[in-house]
Amino acid sequence: MTALGWRQILLFAALVIAATAPLGGYMARVFAGERVFLSGGLQPIERGIYRLAGIDSGSEQGWLAYALSLLTFNLIGTVFLYLLQRLQNFTPLNPGHLAAVDPDLALSTAVSFVSNTSWQSYAGEGTLSDLTQMAGIAVQMFLSAATGIAVAVALIRGFARRRAATIGNFWVDLTRTVLYVLLPLAVLAALFLVWQGVPQTLDGSVTAATRDGGVQTIARGPVASQLAIKMLSSDGGGFFNANSAHPFENPTPLSNLVELLLVFLIAAALTNTFGRMIGNQRQGWALFATMGLLFAVGVTMVYAAEARGNRLLQPLGIDALPGPLQPGGNMEGKEVRFGTAGSALFAAVSTASSSGAVNAMHDSFLPLGGAVLLTNMMLDEVIVGGVGSGLYSILLFCIVAVFLAGLMIGRTPEFIGKKIEHAEVKMTMLALLTVPALILLLTAVASVAPPGLAGLANNGPHGFSEILYAYTSAANTNGSAFAGLNANTPFYNLTLSLAMFGGRYLVIVPVLAIAGSLAAKPAAPRSAGTLPTDGGLFVGFLAGVILIVGGLTYLPALSLGPIAEHFAMQAGTLY
């Protein structure tokens, strides 16, 4: 580890902290229907969308109607994206004359991007046409992110309202998120990326003569516009197969830093939005502090593991060095221009959010570094998480934390003035148990089924980690991969689709049910026995609950994968 590496990490953290309150306050005003500085230009467009779609922006929905609207909208998006891939050989803007996508891969890709997962079992530049990338993939990056934010805002209203039968209007929340939040930020980010050297063109590929007399085809396309929303939406699906390691997606150190900031920007700011909308900004900062504490632990562990390196991979002639030190750290699978610090930070941000974007090969991380990346995802998107999904996930753990605290002090648990009773606890446990069940059951099946084993590039615990990582990434809507797994097979495309669908919608529906239940309740008066949830004590307690729940759930699986591989590596065995 170096001072320069730590300065990169601290600069990134400082920028996230600085942006949280201004953007959080702006979004609070947007979702409250207040006038913002963009209203003059965007309100006519907003009203036009409502008229065109037949939406009564003044009416609100109960939680069930809100959920049905969301599910219907996402189902239509899935069908549209599936058909666009299957018919792309007949559509315009296909300069490479790419063929139609196979049915199972088209289904996996459609579910992936509609659910904000961005799992890619294909090479983007060689599989999808420009039209599919723009009208399919990029559009769903906007809409899937807006869906997650809408659910988070609905849950905030559940805590903020008193004796209410409604939690908002899904169509209004979706429209305002896209118009006032995602589009303006994406335009600014795309212009910045073009300035940094990211291509934005419909001219197709170009050819170049190599120094040995050969010819190389260089793929291009509308990269900057898709990259901007890819990072902002924490979707992570790359235009190129190499994702943010590709120089056309991430050309400079400055673009690398800004892309990292874009990943955390909205999800972190939503904690402040939460605090403002419930009338207690300290509560929002308590959630932000919990996320920050867990992230700091994770990025430190990943950086330490990768900077230390592996004694078995040291160059000849330096075996006498004390300890398992490797000059420059573990650089396998990493871009030299980013180094161990930039790669470790990017990997930690990617897995702590639901981004899934990568600038290094996670499959090449050392076992303990890979274990941290897995753990980041296994904690149910609470370390900042995806846009919207990170906030509602940590609020689910807040319900668990106050429930446990209530058991210890012998009184009905309360959170932000609302009593937490059996209905909320049941829905919370349903949401929190769905994802681990999908991950562990599907991993178990793939670890013994011949089609699952056929996709492995490595054996032993590393091969198991590849399978575990794939289903963990899919069910937690992350989308990154160890990349040693051939997932473009009917078995993996279908099972990963199941994990992505269940991990997204079997969590969203209980969250909306909780929002409806809380909105209907009156405010519980504070008393001497009320647990304060906006201070340091609750931050530590909440972080402990998250780690204990995650540890008890996944420790056996981690022991079979990266932990076992670490001890095998120490004994001189590599996989």
Q: Is residue 82 part of a domain?
A: yes
Res. 325 pLDDT band, cuts 50 70 90: low
Q: Could you tell me what percent of the chain has a pLDDT over 90? A: 67
Q: Is residue 243 part of a domain?
A: yes
Give the count of beta carbons closer than 10 Å to the beta carbon of residue 446.
24
Q: Is residue 96 part of a domain?
A: yes
Domain count, the chain: 1
Taking 90 as the threshold, does the pLDDT of residue 37 lie above it?
yes
Cβ-proximal residues to 404 (8 Å cutoff; 6+ apart), any chain: 545
What SS3 class is residue 456?
A: strand
Q: What is the pLDDT of residues 223-272, one digit of tens each?
A: 899 899 999 998 877 788 788 888 899 999 999 999 999 999 999 999 99
Q: Is residue 135 part of a domain?
A: yes
Res. 315 pLDDT band, cuts 50 70 90: low
**Where do we find the tokens 């308590």?**
286
Q: Among the listed ranges 159-163, 233-237, 252-256, 463-467, which one has the minimum average pLDDT value?
A: 233-237
The pLDDT value recorded for residue 319 is 46
CA angle 539, 418, 28 (to 5 degrees): 70
Inter-residue contact 445 to 473 (CB < 8 Å): no
CA dihedral 42, 43, 48, 50 (to 10 degrees): 120
**Where do we find the tokens 């309740």?**
521
Inter-residue contact 269 to 353 (CB < 8 Å): no
The pLDDT value recorded for residue 173 is 97
Model pTM score: 0.93
Q: How far is it, in rounded angstroms, from Cα 487 to Cα 470?
A: 9
Q: How far is it, in rounded angstroms, from Cα 146 to Cα 177?
A: 6
Q: Is residue 411 part of a domain?
A: no
Q: Is residue 168 part of a domain?
A: yes
The pLDDT value recorded for residue 333 is 83
Res. 317 pLDDT band, cuts 50 70 90: very low
The pLDDT value recorded for residue 29 is 96
The pLDDT value recorded for residue 132 is 92
Tokens standing for residue 532: 């304060």
Taking 80 as the threshold, does the pLDDT of residue 320 lie above it?
no
The pLDDT value recorded for residue 237 is 78
* Average pLDDT value for residue range 520-539: 86
Q: Is residue 251 part of a domain?
A: yes
Res. 475 pLDDT band, cuts 50 70 90: very high
Res. 525 pLDDT band, cuts 50 70 90: confident
Closest to 232 measured CA to CA, from 265, 255, 256, 201: 265
Taking 90 as the threshold, does the pLDDT of residue 431 lie above it?
yes
The pLDDT value recorded for residue 206 is 83
* Average pLDDT value for residue range 40-58: 94
* Average pLDDT value for residue range 290-299: 95
The pLDDT value recorded for residue 324 is 46
Taking 70 as the threshold, does the pLDDT of residue 131 lie above it?
yes
Res. 311 pLDDT band, cuts 50 70 90: low
* Average pLDDT value for residue range 517-522: 94
Taking 90 as the threshold, does the pLDDT of residue 479 lie above it?
no
Res. 439 pLDDT band, cuts 50 70 90: very high
Indicate the average pLDDT of the chain.
Answer: 90
Taking 80 as the threshold, does the pLDDT of residue 60 lie above it?
yes
The pLDDT value recorded for residue 574 is 77
Q: Which residues constitute the domain of residue 143?
A: 19-279
* Average pLDDT value for residue range 287-305: 94
Q: Could you tell me what percent of the chain has a pLDDT over 70? A: 97
Please indicate whether residue 173 or residue 359 has the higher confidence score (pLDDT).
173
The pLDDT value recorded for residue 318 is 44
Taking 80 as the threshold, does the pLDDT of residue 312 lie above it?
no
How much is the CA Rg of the chain, to the nearest whole Å? 23
Q: Is residue 138 part of a domain?
A: yes
Q: What is the pLDDT of residues 198-216, one digit of tens each?
A: 999 888 788 888 888 888 8
* Average pLDDT value for residue range 424-451: 95
